[in-house]
Structure 1
Amino acid sequence: MSASETAIVAGGCFWCTEAVFRMCAGVEEVESGYIGGSVPNPTYKQVCSGDTGHAEAIRITFDPAVISYADLLDVFMATHDPTQLNRQGNDIGTQYRSAIFPLDDAQRAEAEAAIARANAEHGGKVVTTIEGPAEWYPAEDYHQEYWQGEGQRNPYCLAVIPPKLAKLRKGFAQRVKES
């Protein structure tokens, strides 16, 4: 068994990105949180104000023998809109930016390659940034595993998450966990 690795990405609402990556084979854990801002230990309300500089993000713990960091980034780029600056759908503000937070030089190189691949698919219009290093702050408990609980009754989540899960199943069927 290989040692677990960590990836941090921001692609809009963390409830939505968390739901996608929880379905990926090789993903062991997904934690919603905040990264890339200036306020220590920010709250959801502070981050939503757009004044802290943080992005809503997810920290993914994964088994690289099952899914590589490059594959995770390809899933990330395909299941949100990397051409939208500081927004995803109706979520607008820098807290919803598209960003990758590499944890070392190898991840930074993979992030650059993933953006290049996505740019080739999107006519050079990708605005995803590579940021960091930056401090990670876990979101409040009620944000964790949101789709599995409250999200199934939340109209916003019901409108946004199922299309993302469909993109995952269609484009990355071999990467979806067995039910």
Structure 2
Amino acid sequence: MNIQKATFGNGCFWCTEAIFQILKGVIKVRSGYTGGHTINPTYMEICNGDTGHAEVIDIEFDADAISYDELLLAFFKSHNPTTLNRQGNDVGTQYRSAIFYHSEEQKQQAEQMIKKLTDEKVFDRPIVTEVTPASEFYKAEDYHQNYYNDNTLKPYCMVVIQPKLNKFIKEFVEKIKPEVL
């Protein structure tokens, strides 16, 4: 296996964790925080918006099974990259659209994907996703990990996450792990 890392901030990590967990080639997804100045931030500190961190998912993937470009496409299709510091009802810099790259190649791929989506007018407004070097990743508290799978009957999961997941599965059906379908 060709194990690599990807780190994305695309809104609430409960939603994005659930989406990336079902992709073929994704080995592990952890919810956490990065991109700020506070050491070992807590969820409550993140919610206050004073840490500079974003809610992110840290992904371990097999690049022989899924490419970074495919992950980037899933990233862009799983949130609205045209809203600054906001995803739906979640507002604040902690919900910003961000790609935290782990290599110069990832940076170039991210910038090329933004250019391609912009040129193809995939979104009706400009993409505001920041492309930033990966910094220290702080794993979120245990109750945030695997949140959707452990809490499918909670109202937030049923009303917000499940519809996003259903839409994503329809669009990426060929990339979904067979046990999910």
Which TM-score band applies after superposition, normalised by the shorter structure? over 0.9
CA shift, 1:58, in A, is 0.2
Gaps of 5+ in 2: none
CA shift, 1:171, in A, is 1.6
- Is the Cα–Cα contact under 8 Å of residues 10 and 56 in structure 1 kept in the other structure? yes
SS of equivalent residue, structure 2 residue 138: strand
- Is the Cα–Cα contact under 8 Å of residues 80 and 164 in structure 1 kept in the other structure? no
Which segment is superposed worse, 109-118 or 134-143? 109-118
CA distance in 2, matches of 1:159, 1:118: 29
CA distance in 2, matches of 1:21, 1:99: 15
SS of equivalent residue, structure 1 residue 101: strand
Aligned amino acid, residue 143 of structure 1:
H
- Tell me the equivalent position of 1:132: 133
CA shift, 1:154, in A, is 2.4
Share of identical aligned residues, percent? 49
What is the RMSD computed on CA atoms of the aligned residues? 1.1
CA shift, 1:140, in A, is 0.7
- Tell me the equivalent position of 1:175: 175
Count, aligned residues: 177
- Length-normalised TM-score, structure 2: 0.94
- Tell me the equivalent position of 2:99: 100
CA distance in 1, matches of 2:19, 2:160: 11
CA shift, 1:124, in A, is 5.0
- Tell me the equivalent position of 2:60: 61
Q: How does 1:44-123 map to 2 (within 5 A)?
A: 44-119=43-118, 120-123=121-124
- Length-normalised TM-score, structure 1: 0.95
CA distance in 2, matches of 1:142, 1:94: 22
Aligned amino acid, residue 127 of structure 2:
V
Aligned amino acid, residue 162 of structure 2:
P
CA shift, 1:99, in A, is 0.3
